[in-house]
Structure 1
Amino acid sequence: MLPSSPERMRRLLDLAYHRPRRFSFTPSFVLRDLAQYLYTDRIEEKKELIKGITLGDIDKFQLTPLPQEVLVLWGEHDQIFPIEKAFKVARKLGANARLEILKNTGHMPQEEDSKKFNEALLNFLLPAPNSSL
C-alpha cells in the first residue's frame, strides 16, 4: 500500500484498476519519483491510517452517522477496499447515505469510467426538479 520501488508501484497500480493498464511501459524512474513524492512524507501516519482502515476490528470501526445526504461511490471490483466494506461504510454513515456501485471499475472508478462517475456525482448534486403538475 505504500510502495517504495518502481516494481511495487506497478503492483499497486495494477491493484487499483479493474481493467489492465499499460504501466509496464512507464519508465521506472517515473514510477520511482511518483512513489517517492506520494509516499515518503509522513510515512508512519500513513501506515497507521492504512492499518486502521484495512485491518480494523469491525466492532471498533468508528464512523459517525451524518445528518446530511452522503454519496458513496465504489468500484465494483475494488481490490484495495473490497465491496463488502462499501456496504459497511454506507450503513455506518446512516440512513442519509446513498451507495452507488460503479460496474466494471476498481479502486479508481473516476479514471476507469469517468462518464458514469460524473453522471452519478451530478445526479446526486443536481437532482431532477420535482414536477408540480
Structure 2
Amino acid sequence: MVATAHWSGESGESVAAAADGAWQTKNIPLSTTQLIEPFAVAKEASAVRVPVLLLYGEQDVTVEPLRDVAIFRSAPDIATAIIPRMAHMHNFAPTRALAWARLQAFIPRVAAVGDHAAAAEAAPPAS
C-alpha cells in the first residue's frame, strides 16, 4: 500500500499520520476492490457532463492515467495533470502545492468558459 499511496520521499511523520487510523475505515465497501480495476467506473464516467480535472501522482494506483481521459467522453472540458514526486495520497506529498495550484487554476477557467457559454445561449440569434 505504501508503494502506491505515498511517495517514497515523504516524511515518516506523513506516512505515520495517514496510517494512524484517522484515514482508514474498519468497514470496507464491497465495491472497493472492484473500483481499483481499470475502467471500473467507465459507464458512470461517460455520463459526466461537467468539466473534469484529473490529477494523478507520478506514482499512483492508476496504471495509465492518460487513458482515463477517454472514459469522460461527455465532459465538455477535461484537464489532466501528473504531478511529480506525488503518489495517490496527494495531500501528504512534498509537491502537494502543485496539485492545489492546478485545482485553483482550473476552477476560474471553467467558470469563465461557463459564463461565456451562458452568454452565448442567451444572446439573440444573429440576423
What TM-score comes out, normalization by structure 2 length? 0.62
Could you tell me which residue of structure 1 aligns to residue 122 of structure 2?
A: none
Could you tell me which residue of structure 1 aligns to residue 66 of structure 2?
A: 87
Q: What CA distance in whole angstroms lies between the structure 2 residues aligned with 1:59 and 1:90?
A: 14
RMSD (Å), alpha carbons = 3.5
Q: What CA distance in whole angstroms lies between the structure 2 residues aligned with 1:55 and 1:76?
A: 19
Shift of 1:59: 8.7
**Aligned partner letter, 2:79:** R
Show CA shifts across 1:1-39 (max 9, x none).
xxxxxxxxxxx345311233316x959xx95x617x722
Q: How many residues align?
A: 106
What TM-score comes out, normalization by structure 1 length? 0.60
1:100-115 equivalent positions in 2, closer than 5 A: 100-112=81-93, 113-115=95-97
Tell whether the 8 Å contact from 1:91 to 1:97 is kept in structure 2 after alignment: no
Shift of 1:121: 0.4
In structure 2, which of residues 22, 31, 37 is the aligned counterpart of residue 55 of structure 1? 37
1:1-133 equivalent positions in 2, closer than 5 A: 12-20=1-9, 21-22=11-12, 26=16, 31=19, 34=21, 38-41=24-27, 43=28, 45=29, 48-55=30-37, 58=39, 61-62=42-43, 63-78=45-60, 80-82=61-63, 84=64, 86-94=65-73, 96-112=77-93, 113-127=95-109
Q: Deviation above 6 Å: which 4+ runs of structure 1?
A: none
Q: Which runs of 5+ in 1 are unaligned?
A: 1-11
Q: Which runs of 5+ in 2 are unaligned?
A: 114-127
